């Protein structure tokens, strides 16, 4: 029987989860914090690679291949990164890097920071600039409202405050 039809008992293939995609034609905007984290991730991958190369594990080749794929994707992101500084943004308008405090229809207040795709973490209030929520907020000013349409509902978000002062710091927990 052909080897193609037998189960290979070799090392398991490692799954490499791809990076979050950028929309077609979109720039890879990053905050200083986001760029710093990309470089830290690259450094961490290099350290992992060195440890795996030094080890004599049976799945060493598969792990090195998986790390290599991640490293290539990461290098592409770092090379295409366009750093946006808070000081260059219009301070009275929601733009990339802004921390925005909004009040929803329900009266609940939320805080979001508009960041790059690789930095986004919705649970921490870090939303990608290309997300529907960020697109609804972009260009708005304090006192204005934005409509967020989702498949389930439409929400009106009143812009209560915005700033760029903490653009490069870790977000505060809510």
Residue 72 lies in a domain: yes
CATH number at residue 113: 3.10.50.30
Tokens of 116: 């790059």
Q: Are residues 58 and 116 in the same domain?
A: no
Q: Are residues 68 and 55 in the same domain?
A: yes
pLDDT greater than 60 at residue 61: yes
Residue 10 lies in a domain: no
Answer with the one of 49, 83, 117 that is the final residue of a domain: 83
Q: In terms of residue numbers, what domain contains 72? A: 27-83
* Whole-number pLDDT of residue 87: 83
Do residues 86 and 168 lie in contact, with contact meaning Cβ atoms separated by under 8 Å?
yes
Q: Are residues 77 and 95 in the same domain?
A: no
Please tell me which residue, 60 or 110, carries the higher pLDDT value.
110
Do residues 97 and 113 lie in contact, with contact meaning Cβ atoms separated by under 8 Å?
yes
C-alpha Rg value of the chain to the nearest Å:
21
Residue 19 lies in a domain: no
pLDDT band at 60 (very low <50, low <70, confident <90, very high): confident
pLDDT band at 171 (very low <50, low <70, confident <90, very high): low
Residue 168 lies in a domain: no
Residue 134 lies in a domain: yes
Residue 141 lies in a domain: yes
pLDDT band at 103 (very low <50, low <70, confident <90, very high): very high
Q: Are residues 77 and 90 in the same domain?
A: no
If you average pLDDT over every residue of the chain, what do you get? 86
What one-character-per-residue DSSP string does 57-94 give? Answer: -TTHHHHHHHHHHHHHHHHHHHHHEEE--GGGS-TTS-
Residue pLDDT, tens place only, 113-152: 999 999 999 999 999 999 999 999 999 999 999 999 888 8
Q: Are residues 91 and 154 in the same domain?
A: yes
Residues 6+ apart with CB under 8 A from 34: 81, 115, 116, 118, 119
Half-sphere exposure of 171 (CA within 13 A, CB side): 24
pLDDT greater than 90 at residue 11: no
Q: Are residues 54 and 97 in the same domain?
A: no
* Whole-number pLDDT of residue 86: 83
* Whole-number pLDDT of residue 77: 94
Q: Are residues 53 and 96 in the same domain?
A: no
Q: Are residues 153 and 90 in the same domain?
A: yes
Please tell me which residue, 168 or 17, carries the higher pLDDT value.
17
Q: How many domains does the chain contain in total?
A: 2
pLDDT greater than 90 at residue 6: no
Residue pLDDT, tens place only, 82-101: 999 888 888 999 999 999 99
Q: Are residues 35 and 98 in the same domain?
A: no
Q: Are residues 91 and 146 in the same domain?
A: yes
């Amino acid at each position: 029987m052909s080897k193609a039809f037998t189960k290979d008992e070799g090392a398991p293939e490692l799954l490499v989860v791809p990076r979050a995609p950028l929309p077609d034609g979109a720039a890879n905007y990053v905050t200083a914090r986001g760029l710093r984290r990309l470089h830290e991730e690259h450094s961490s991958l290099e350290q992992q690679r060195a440890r795996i190369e030094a080890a004599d594990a049976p799945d060493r080749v598969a792990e090195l291949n998986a790390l290599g794929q991640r490293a290539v994707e990461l290098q592409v992101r770092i090379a295409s990164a366009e750093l946006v500084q808070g000081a260059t943004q219009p301070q009275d308008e929601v733009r990339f890097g802004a921390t925005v405090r909004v009040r929803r229809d329900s009266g609940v207040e939320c805080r979001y920071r508009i960041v790059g795709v690789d930095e986004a973490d919705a649970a921490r209030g870090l939303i990608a600039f290309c997300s529907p929520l960020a697109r609804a907020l972009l260009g708005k000013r304090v006192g204005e409202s934005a409509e967020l349409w989702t498949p389930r509902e439409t929400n009106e978000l009143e812009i209560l405050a915005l700033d760029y002062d903490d653009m490069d710091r870790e977000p505060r927990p809510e």
